[in-house]
Chain A
Amino acid sequence: MSTRTRTWRRLLRDPQAVVTAGILLVIVALGLLAPFLAQHGPNDSDLGMVNAPAGTPGYLLGADESGRDIFSRLLHSINTSAVSALIGTGVALAVGVTAGLVGGYFGARTRGATEWLFNLVMTFPGLLLLIILMPVTGGDYRFTMLIFGVLLSPGIYRIVRNLVLGVKNELYVDAARVSGLGNTRILGRHVLSVVRGPIIIATAFLMGAAIATQSGLAFLGVGSKEIPSFGDMISSGFRNLYLAPAQFLWPSLLLGLITASLVLLGNALRDTLEGSRPKPAKVGQGQRTDVRTGPAPVAGTAALLEIRDLTIAYPGPGGESREVVRGAALRIDRGQTLGLVGESGSGKTQTAFAVLGVLPAEAVITRGSIVFEGRELVGLTDGEMRPLRGKQIAYVPQEPMSNLDPSYKVGAQLVEGVRSALGVSKQEARTRVLALLGRCGIADPPRTFDSYPHQLSGGMAQRVLIAGAVASRPKLLIADEPTTALDVTVQAEILDLLRDLQAELGMAVLLVTHNFGVVADICDHIAVMSRGEIVETGDVQKVLNDPRHEYTRTLLDAILDDTTVRTDPPPGAITEGADR
């Protein structure tokens, strides 16, 4: 209940929602009060009043080509539009939601049938169909809107079906089923609650579409001339455009106002109910920095990478900034392997991204310096970072699949990277990539080279990514949880590969991980990170055997070691164990 009231309150605070909803309410009220506000009926024609100008007594906005009161027709047109919107939207929602729930929730066969049916409806030009069926509908706008509602329903069906399919795979629906809930209850309680918001949003747009279509048809002259409607008024105004342009203006303005309000209301609802969607950022801009105190002068250091006082902040929901990395300091020498360990949210990945210069657009480096081979990286533009990336500093990601472009063959992607980093010919890049794929433990390099990412297993994809990273013999390899998504046995092989490559190429490795075992396996140094701060650094052997910081000690204690085996017997064993 509380979130629902909260949503309402947020909507009421959104000027766009309040203004558009207000305008629509006023317009609907005007329509309902039409019989009382207008002095003439919408179809009362007075031949003495033909094309009477606005302001004529009794004819506030003048009269049209047949001497009918424009003001009265305008108000009555509102009702026609409202009824059209209600019928069209009502039918679309009833058909679309029901079919969407059924098609999404039940098996693939049911879905196949609904899918086929709605694709059929969707692909037909709606307005044309309404015209073709005119001999059947007789042009009655209510009947027409009924059919139009069916024609609109595929949009709703798709929204609902997609949401339901998404929800169906959520574990909480499985959990509800295990809890003994029946299908109807699950649909009503767990599924409909997710679908509600998007449906409310779609309704606003549907109403706009129904009103615009009804007006279009009336403009064409479909249906009874007795029914006052914007389309009919616009059509009559259009014919009179040279004589009395104002006649065209009034219905157009009101129709425009209604459809615009509905669309803008829909947008406002979407922003409130679904949250604001990601805003685009300038591509190729480089990381944002806001370092006021200039970087400290670099002493003649032998370190390959030296991070000092690095602070990264994100804007919070209320505009305040939230620091995810606070004054981090790190140092990696040439050929050294450093394990950066921490739990989720500790800022370890953000630190790694900052070195690569690929922090998300919202992130800002507010303090500190990152010096690579004596060069300050903080404040470099994307263009200045590019020559370093791939060639000097390379990256192996955590999740192998999502880090390959699904549309290109693996080989083409690697070749592009090698050519960008080293500027070699296509043929040379290809030879190099093939050799590397073999080196990274891929059994049939030419075949993998010509495969698409979805044809590879997770372990293979990770080998491909490692090959891509080390292709240009970088001086520093940043590996962000490179084995977390993999099975233990595959993890062991990938760690072996990384260790061998590191020895072969003499590169330094910054290994981001949450797993102390991985650190013990491959790293010579370790840095422990907690809540954005690096709390302890040192030699792996020393830190693991004799942690200084309390946090490190807590983490190490939490490891389930080899020796703890459960010893207490099952409670039921006393009574039932004898039978077994």
Chain B
Amino acid sequence: MLAYVLRRIGAGLVLALLVTLVTFLMLSLSFGDVVRTLLGQSATPESVAAMTKQMGYDRPVLVQYGDWLLHLLRGDLGTSVYTSLPVGPSVVQRLAVTLSIIVPALLITVLLSISLGVWAATRGGVADRIAQGLSLVGYIVPGLLIAIVLVYLLAVRAKLLPATGYTPLSTDPAAWLHSITIPVIVLVIGGVANMAAQVRGRMIDELRRDYVRTLRTRGVSTTSIVVRHALRNAAGPALTVLSLEFIQMFGSALIIENVFALPGYGSYAFNASLQGDIPVIMGITVFGVLLVTVVNLGTDLANGWLNPKARLH
């Protein structure tokens, strides 16, 4: 088991190395633009050359990457070209904001999806049609539109919740709850639309399997068959969807943070990219890969726990 975890972590490190290298190589194409943006339109070729040298962009790209990597190993992600703030702490701070939206959204998505999916799969008929209708609506309306409509209705019209802004949990829990409510609702609607349909489909498949019939012939109760057996077997595939959903939410969070003016990971990445702030972009990439690796490892371990056949490998 330990060997497996170590191997997976090793694979994650290789992945991180690869992704950061590729990102760095691609970004190096635009180093010239970065310098020009920094100095403004009126910069002379001489000052551009001087700046390029000062920032070390004149060295071979691989040397620059190696340099960056060495600093990374010492826990130093550098400083922002524009604000001169250290990248590491900034990214962590921004990530905390994004996670404080995504984690609640994910938990609610799981609970709602399982309830809705199991309800649809075990009741059939009207219940199923309602559940499918709900999923469909969540699926066909772009999240962007849902976000704006909710802001308009709940914040602008009803004035129930703040339209924009973020209050950290440590400052004021009630205000924090208010500030994340609409963003979380938007993420949940999109997430449930996808997950509930998956849970429903898996449950229908499981409930039609032979072993379910055999359990019934032994007098096992319906609740046990649905929860202990069918849901347990449906959980593995649903978990994989969930991990993808989690990563997907990071993408969605980008737009949501923009709509709600939240100082999160996505908006940080967006601004850095817009400005060409190379150290920040690289820092964001590192944390992105780290997150992906952790989520995937968690999914695989949970899958191994759920599925005895997978445990062998």
Q: Do chains A and B touch in the complex (CB under 8 A)?
A: yes
A residues at B contact (CB < 8 Å):
120, 122-128, 131-136, 212, 215-216, 219-221, 231, 234, 238, 241-242, 245, 248, 252, 255-256, 259-260, 263-264, 267, 277-284, 353, 356, 358, 361, 382, 386-391, 393-395, 397, 399, 402-408, 413, 416-417, 420-421, 452, 454, 465, 468-469
| Inter-subunit contact B218/A468 (CB<8 Å) | yes
* Complex interface bits, B139-155 against A, C-beta within 8 A gives 1, otherwise 0: 11111110010001000
Known: A132-B284, A259-B142, A264-B140. A405 touches B233 (CB 8 A): yes
| 10 further interface pairs, Cβ-Cβ under 8 Å (given A131-B270, A259-B140) | A120-B15, A122-B244, A123-B244, A127-B251, A263-B139, A283-B122, A389-B218, A405-B229, A405-B233, A420-B224
| Inter-subunit contact B26/A131 (CB<8 Å) | no
| Inter-subunit contact A358/B254 (CB<8 Å) | no
| Inter-subunit contact B213/A358 (CB<8 Å) | yes
| Inter-subunit contact A280/B140 (CB<8 Å) | no
Top 9 closest pairs, chain A to chain B, by CB: A417-B218, A390-B219, A127-B251, A284-B222, A395-B217, A260-B140, A134-B273, A135-B30, A125-B250
| Inter-subunit contact B255/A216 (CB<8 Å) | yes
| Inter-subunit contact B29/A394 (CB<8 Å) | no
> Quick one: closest B residue to A136, CB to CB?
B26
Q: List CB contacts (< 8 Å) of B221-246 with chain A.
A: 221-222, 224-226, 228-229, 232-233, 244
Known: A122-B244, A260-B141. A133 touches B207 (CB 8 A): no
Q: List CB contacts (< 8 Å) of B187-206 with chain A.
A: 200-201, 203-205
| Inter-subunit contact A219/B308 (CB<8 Å) | no
Q: How far is the CA of A406 from the CA of B288 in the complex (A)?
A: 36
| Inter-subunit contact B248/A125 (CB<8 Å) | yes
| Inter-subunit contact A125/B124 (CB<8 Å) | no
Known: A136-B29, A220-B258, A407-B232. A128 touches B216 (CB 8 A): no
- The secondary structure that dominates the A interface is helix
Nearest CB in chain B: distance from A189 CB, A: 30
| Inter-subunit contact B152/A241 (CB<8 Å) | yes
Q: How far is the CA of A284 from the CA of B295 in the complex (A)?
A: 37
**Does B80 lie at the interface of the complex (its beta carbon under 8 Å from any beta carbon of A)?**
no
Nearest CB in chain B: distance from A322 CB, A: 20
Q: How far is the CA of A396 from the CA of B164 in the complex (A)?
A: 63
A sample of 7 inter-chain contacts (CB < 8 A) reads A123-B296, A215-B142, A263-B136, A356-B217, A387-B219, A408-B229, A417-B215
**Does B281 lie at the interface of the complex (its beta carbon under 8 Å from any beta carbon of A)?**
yes
- The secondary structure that dominates the B interface is helix
| Inter-subunit contact A255/B142 (CB<8 Å) | yes
> Given B15, B124, B244, which contacts A281 in the complex, CB threshold below 8 Å?
B124
Q: Give every chain B residue within 8 A of A134 (Cβ-Cβ).
A: 273-274
Nearest CB in chain B: distance from A26 CB, A: 18
| Inter-subunit contact A278/B219 (CB<8 Å) | no
Q: How far is the CA of A416 from the CA of B224 in the complex (A)?
A: 9
**Does B183 lie at the interface of the complex (its beta carbon under 8 Å from any beta carbon of A)?**
no
> Given A123, A136, A394, A407, which contacts B292 in the complex, CB threshold below 8 Å?
A123
Q: How far is the CA of A395 from the CA of B219 in the complex (A)?
A: 11
Q: Give every chain A residue within 8 A of B273 (Cβ-Cβ).
A: 131-135
| Inter-subunit contact A124/B19 (CB<8 Å) | yes
* Complex interface bits, B95-126 against A, C-beta within 8 A gives 1, otherwise 0: 00000000000000000000000001111110
| Inter-subunit contact B225/A283 (CB<8 Å) | yes
> Quick one: closest B residue to A397, CB to CB?
B214
| Inter-subunit contact A407/B307 (CB<8 Å) | yes
| Inter-subunit contact B221/A404 (CB<8 Å) | no
| Inter-subunit contact A452/B218 (CB<8 Å) | no
| Inter-subunit contact A238/B259 (CB<8 Å) | yes
